[in-house]
Structure 1
Amino acid sequence: MRSFLVILLALPLFALPAAGGLRSTVPDVLSTRWIWPLTGRPVVLRDFAPPAQPWLAGHRGTDLATTPGAEVHAAGAGTIGYAGPLAGRAVVTVLHSDGLRTTYLPVHPSVRRGQTVSRGEVIGVVQDLPGHCRTACLHWGLLRGRSYLDPLLLLGRGQVRLLPLWPSGP
């Protein structure tokens, strides 16, 4: 019982620094500035699964079920940072005013670099390309700087995983 109380009392000491760190990197999930990039509420085929280290393999976005030719919408207002081919697939990137960047692929763009888009505006259509999904999908990504985040956080649906705060030395 005593060890349980010690753990219970110590828990806030570990949770507060982690939560503070998340606040500075995770977008405001209560915001109504964001929408799904596809019409309706698409099925999530594959969740965000970041690698343990930036150079390792992982899944740096969320795959949403769709059909080739489906319209893709800007999840939030911003400026087109890139719209064109990249590594054999067409990609559209939207730069948002709060330092976030959303990515969409494979998307044949209907926008051009530097163009301002509003939330919900069509930015292209899903290409009919074989990809990493077994069926047609839209890979939706989210970055803040060089850090990948779960795009479902924009809709209040992503998983926040707190890691333990380990001592840094003796």
Structure 2
Amino acid sequence: MTEAFIALGSNLGDARAQVSGAFDALAQLPGTRLLARSHLYLTPPWGMLEQPPFINAAARIDTSLSPHELLDGLLAIERAAGRVRGAERWGPRTLDLDVLHIDGVSLADEQLTLPHPRIRERAFVLLPLHDLAPDLQLPGQGTVAGLLAAIDASGCERLP
């Protein structure tokens, strides 16, 4: 089993329910165990600004899946939630799941780059990831706590 971190986000329909359901779906992936879930955060849109705010979270899992098998599982969860990929980049979505980091894995190919190359730019990723692993060292980027301290997260709100 290998530890991995997944980002979850939604801003269409019942976003909170979409993210909650995605946590449950992650736990159902073959060879995978959900270890922890972050708090939920209400965050402003990123990239394309003319869209509703997002509900974002992160999950810590143990998995025996390869990085690409894990990605395939995440894409299947997105499809089951009604996500159609190929629409606008950074646009509204029912569900978005991203592999952020897999312990001991450094990878860059057409489908997947690990650790996720834009973690350091995104408060909506760093805040929930910080809930789970503030001292996590992301190769080539630094610790989650250090990265979070270096960005503006003022537009993000932790939800009860």
TM-score by length of 2: 0.29
| Structure with greater contact order relative to length (CA < 8 Å, sep ≥ 6) | 2
Structure with greater proportional helix content: 2
Larger Rg: 1
TM-score (norm 1): 0.28
